[in-house]
């Protein structure tokens, strides 16, 4: 924000000169600071047309009077911090938001609580923004009637960190967003995705937790995405994944934890991705490859107590599996180099059966499954011969 020696502080409260937020903003000049005292304020859409700092004191609550958008920011160098913003209702004609940044740059949205807002924070053609330490609590019932917690569209150079997002359609949504970072957020119980990328490049997300969402994270049609040290946990359901990758190129998936998801990672049409130092623990399917996946490298990962470690329905001849730990590996290490002396073939015959007849899942824990998997291991016919780890680790990889 550019300093202004003539900037003033304007206080809004019941006993102040300004008791109405809209009038206080109308009387302000660029770079003024507006402090909103604790209390309850009902407002119509507040439109900010010049740079301002808007700060809420303890328990300052802004309620949408008619259910319409609360703050619409049209000016660069604006800060909104310390407010509780609530009750923006669903609309099928307009993406109403608690806070909307529209064609504005160098903004800060921090330390706010947004409750029952159709869209929480909406960034439209905004760059160089910080969104941090906000709590967004929605009341999503269905995808069609719900908006996203933090929504960014055609925006670059964003930093989104230390936020908690619950009860929306998507917790965080990126579409045509480049060179941005998503760090240390908690996204839980969102109807569709905890985090959703579309057509976004050169972004990174790290140290986030995606818990009990429809799908933890979906990354689609994007390039050069870094995914590090995230937790994907309890994303359960008929079509639920910890991480969904569709047509992704040149990505890094490192040091993540996939725990108790229906499918840890589902991959379709994604090339040149490095999967290193990830933990797959007690998932239904740990890693599932669909068609068109080439030149991927899967190494130094732990596959522990998953129902199925690896499922493929396409050739993976140009992909490399090596030096992973597989809890189901039954080989030996006579030369004591901590690598198995015989290859591990992680694709089981039962995964082939499930692909052809999904209802066979009811047999998962039966003796029949153990018998067919053992017979295929002794004399492979259906499982791919080229999908193997020829140097499996004898002990799990430490972080």
pTM comes to 0.91
Instruction: Dump pLDDT digits (tens) for 194-218.
Output: 999 999 999 999 999 999 999 999 9
Kindly state the helix (H) or strand (E) to which residue 369 belongs, with its residue range: helix 367-378
Domain ranges of the chain: 1-213
Q: Which residues of 129-164 are buried (b: 16+ CB within 10 A; e: fewer)?
A: bbbbebbbbbebeeeeebbbbbbbbebbbbebbebb
d(CA 288, CA 308): 9
Cα 350 from Cα 290, distance rounded (Å):
17
Parallel, antiparallel, or unpaired: how do β-strands 46-48 and 119-124 relate?
unpaired
Q: If you average pLDDT over every residue of the chain, what do you get?
A: 90
Q: What is the pLDDT of residues 261-280, one digit of tens each?
A: 999 999 999 999 999 999 99
For residues 324 and 277, give the distance between their C-alpha atoms in angstroms, rounded to a whole number.
9
- State the Cα torsion 319-283-276-300 to the nearest 10°: -90
**359 has pLDDT over 90:** no
Task: DSSP for 229-289, please give it.
Answer: S-EEE---STT-EEEEEEEEES-EEES-EEES-SEEEEEES-BS-EEES-EEES-SEEEEE
Confidence of residue 369 (pLDDT cuts 50, 70, 90): very low
Greatest alpha-carbon span in the chain: 86
Residue 15: the pLDDT is: 85
Task: Reply yes or no on domain 1-213 having CATH 2.170.150.70.
Answer: no
Task: Tell me the average pLDDT across 147-161.
Answer: 98
pLDDT for res 290:
86
pLDDT score at 130: 98
DSSP 3-state assignment of 375?
Answer: helix
H helix or E strand, kind and range, residue 355 = helix 349-356
- Picking from 267, 302, 262, the residue whose alpha carbon sits closest to that of residue 283 is 262
- The single residue listed with the structure tokens 């680790």 is 393
Placement of tokens 């490298």 in the chain: 297
What's the rounded Cα separation, in Å, for the pair 98 and 80? 11
Q: What per-residue confidence (pLDDT) applies to 186? A: 98
Residues 98-111: pLDDT tens digits? 999 999 999 999 99
């Amino acid at each position: 924000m550019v300093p202004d020696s003539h900037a003033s502080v304007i206080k809004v409260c019941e006993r102040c000169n300004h008791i109405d937020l809209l009038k206080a903003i109308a009387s302000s000049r660029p770079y003024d600071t507006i402090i909103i005292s604790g209390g309850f304020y009902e407002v119509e859409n507040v439109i900010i047309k010049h740079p301002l700092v808007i700060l809420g004191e303890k328990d300052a609550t802004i309620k949408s009077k008619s259910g319409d958008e609360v703050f619409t920011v049209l000016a660069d160098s604006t800060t909104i911090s310390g407010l509780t913003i609530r009750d923006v209702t669903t609309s099928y004609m307009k993406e109403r938001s608690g806070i909307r940044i529209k064609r504005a740059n160098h903004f800060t949205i921090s330390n706010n609580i947004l409750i029952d807002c159709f869209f929480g924070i909406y960034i439209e053609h905004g760059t160089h923004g910080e969104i941090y330490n906000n709590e967004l609590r929605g009341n999503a019932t269905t995808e069609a009637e719900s908006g996203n917690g933090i929504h960014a569209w055609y925006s670059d150079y964003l930093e989104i960190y230390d936020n908690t997002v619950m009860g929306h359609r998507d917790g965080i949504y990126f579409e045509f967003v480049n060179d941005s970072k998503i760090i240390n957020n908690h996204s839980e119980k969102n109807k569709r995705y905890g985090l959703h990328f579309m057509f976004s490049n050169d972004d990174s997300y790290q140290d986030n937790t995606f818990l009990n969402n429809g799908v933890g994270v979906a990354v689609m049609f994007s390039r050069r995405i870094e995914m590090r040290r995230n937790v994907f946990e309890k994303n359960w359901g008929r079509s639920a994944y910890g991480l969904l990758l569709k047509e992704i190129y040149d990505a890094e998936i490192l040091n993540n934890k996939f725990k108790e998801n229906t499918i840890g990672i589902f991959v379709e049409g994604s090339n040149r991705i490095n999967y290193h130092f990830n933990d797959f623990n007690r998932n239904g399917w740990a890693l599932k490859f669909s068609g068109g996946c080439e030149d991927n490298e899967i190494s130094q990962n732990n596959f522990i107590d998953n129902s199925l470690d690896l499922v493929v329905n396409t050739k993976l001849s140009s992909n490399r599996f090596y030096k992973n730990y597989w809890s189901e590996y039954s080989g030996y290490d006579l030369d004591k180099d901590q690598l198995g002396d015989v290859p591990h073939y992680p694709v089981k015959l039962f995964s082939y059966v499930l692909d052809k007849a999904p209802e066979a899942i009811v047999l998962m824990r039966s003796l029949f499954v153990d018998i067919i998997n053992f017979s295929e291991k002794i004399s492979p016919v259906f499982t791919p011969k080229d999908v193997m780890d020829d140097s499996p680790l004898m002990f799990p990889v430490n972080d």
